[in-house]
Amino acid sequence: MNAAKRIRQLLAMSSEPEQTSVLLQLATDLQVGGTFDIRRLFQLEPEFFDLGIALLRDWRFGHHIASRSKLFEDILAQDARLQQRLCHLSGGMAH
């Protein structure tokens, strides 16, 4: 199973919220071109660290784009602040 699908499962199960939140922030920053402090991965348990590295690898090589899109949709569905931030960004581009 690819990294984005696995992270979606963790999100759906509400499993390990602190660990999962770092992975969600990584995915979000990768998607929107944000800045992610890679040192945050080093604070994760080994299983979650490996998942973060797998996500980076998939993203770098353009693998599993559909799964990554679905993950980002799930993140957006749960994060109203991110929705507002992205709406603000796209609204600013129109001017």
DSSP result, 18-86: HHHHHHHHHHHHHHHT----GGGGGGS-HHHHHHHHHHHHHHHTT--HHHHHHHHHHHHHH-HHHHHHH
For residue 69, give both structure tokens: 């899109």
pTM exceeds 0.85: no
pLDDT at 93 > cutoff 70:
no
pLDDT tens-place string over residues 29-41: 998 888 999 999 9
CA distance 60 to 37: 17
CA distance 82 to 59: 20
